């Protein structure tokens, strides 16, 4: 997919990765970029950034959206289709991090599940009927390298990001022959609010901290090639291959990694 002239929706679009994607999609000549987030001030800022870009013809629209509420996601899709007729690319990008082990309280487990997993499911429920009727559409679901590997210091993040990858795989398998393209974004450390309180991005920063703009470049390239895995840190593919090649050896290496980094997550 080329983003030029496309109608794009980005959840979690007011900050970090989502903000970078919104601005980059506009720079690529998207017909419209819809910025969805829970922060009105951030939405307004990104809409203004898009509108102020030199020579931009992209229409920018903002909407308060809590992706853990299905009614909010459906309203987002309805408002976008009312305004622009259809959605070409839906980026289910909103996500949160919760540190801790199996003893994280049930309320926190439910919150991260509702955002990191159900947010993707609600998006698919809302946007797929229109895409399937047209015989085309693209879903970009933001997960994490943690969804392919694991997350030191956070059982909830590891579990929910694995689920997000699994759901994206299922979507691609189920609808790939009906015109629906799916990519799953799996970065390591990116310079966002989520990594702000870690030293160098924590364990996810072992291969360097990536700037959101650089990640957006990889996303554009992945969409153009219509590849499932979007890996801003290419090292992740090597780690996945090692994991599949010798699971027990990989687990041993992860235990050693935990010994190096677990203390960084105790107070998060």
Per residue in 76-105, pLDDT (tens digit) is: 999 999 999 999 999 999 999 999 999 999
The pLDDT score that the predictor gives to residue 116 is 98
pTM: 0.92
* Residue keyed to tokens 């487990």: 109
Report if residue 123 sits inside a domain.
Answer: yes
157 noted as active-site residue: yes
> What are the structure tokens assigned to 135, written together?
């015989």
The pLDDT score that the predictor gives to residue 203 is 58
Q: Tell me if 4 sits within 8 A of 30, measured CB to CB.
A: yes
Q: What is the CATH classification number for the domain harbouring 155?
A: 3.40.50.720
Helix, coil or strand: residue 49? helix
Q: Tell me if 229 sits within 8 A of 237, measured CB to CB.
A: yes
Report if residue 1 sits inside a domain.
Answer: no
Distance CA(97)–CA(114), nearest Å, equals 12
The pLDDT score that the predictor gives to residue 53 is 80
Helix, coil or strand: residue 56? coil
Of 122, 138, 157, 175, catalytic: 157
Q: Minimal CA–CA distance to 3: which of 31, 38, 35, 23?
A: 31
Q: How many domains does the chain have?
A: 1
Distance CA(151)–CA(259), nearest Å, equals 13
Report if residue 243 sits inside a domain.
Answer: yes
pLDDT digits (tens, 9 = 90+) for 30-72: 999 999 999 999 999 999 999 988 667 999 999 999 999 999 9
Report if residue 215 sits inside a domain.
Answer: yes
- Tell me which residue range forms the domain holding 221: 7-265
Report if residue 2 sits inside a domain.
Answer: no
Q: Minimal CA–CA distance to 28: which of 183, 221, 226, 231?
A: 221
Low-confidence ranges of the chain (pLDDT < 70): 54-55, 192-206, 262, 264-268
């Amino acid at each position: 997919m080329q983003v030029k002239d496309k109608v794009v929706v980005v959840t979690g679009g007011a900050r970090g990765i989502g903000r970078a994607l919104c601005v980059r999609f506009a720079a690529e000549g998207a017909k419209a970029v819809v910025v969805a987030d829970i922060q009105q001030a951030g939405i307004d800022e990104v809409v203004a950034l898009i509108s102020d870009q030199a020579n931009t013809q992209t229409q920018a629209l903002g909407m308060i959206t809590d992706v853990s509420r299905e009614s909010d996601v459906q309203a987002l899709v309805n408002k976008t289709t009312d305004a622009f007729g259809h959605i070409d690319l839906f980026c289910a990008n909103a996500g949160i991090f919760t540190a801790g082990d199996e003893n994280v309280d049930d309320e926190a487990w439910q919150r991260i599940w509702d955002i990191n997993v159900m947010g993707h499911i609600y998006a698919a429920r809302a946007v797929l009927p229109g895409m399937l009727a047209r015989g085309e559409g693209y879903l970009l679901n933001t997960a994490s390298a943690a969804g392919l590997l694991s997350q030191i210091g956070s059982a909830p993040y590891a579990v929910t990001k694995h689920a997000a990858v699994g759901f994206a795989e299922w979507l691609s398998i189920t609808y790939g022959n009906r015109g629906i393209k799916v990519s799953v974004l799996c970065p390591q450390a990116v310079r966002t609010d989520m990594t702000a309180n870690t030293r160098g991005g924590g364990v996810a920063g072992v291969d360097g901290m990536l700037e959101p703009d650089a990640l957006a470049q990889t996303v554009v390239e992945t969409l153009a090639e219509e590849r499932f895995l979007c890996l801003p840190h290419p090292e992740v593919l090597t780690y996945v291959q090692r994991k599949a090649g010798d699971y027990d050896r990989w687990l041993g290496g992860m235990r050693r990694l935990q010994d190096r980094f677990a203390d960084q997550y105790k107070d998060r």
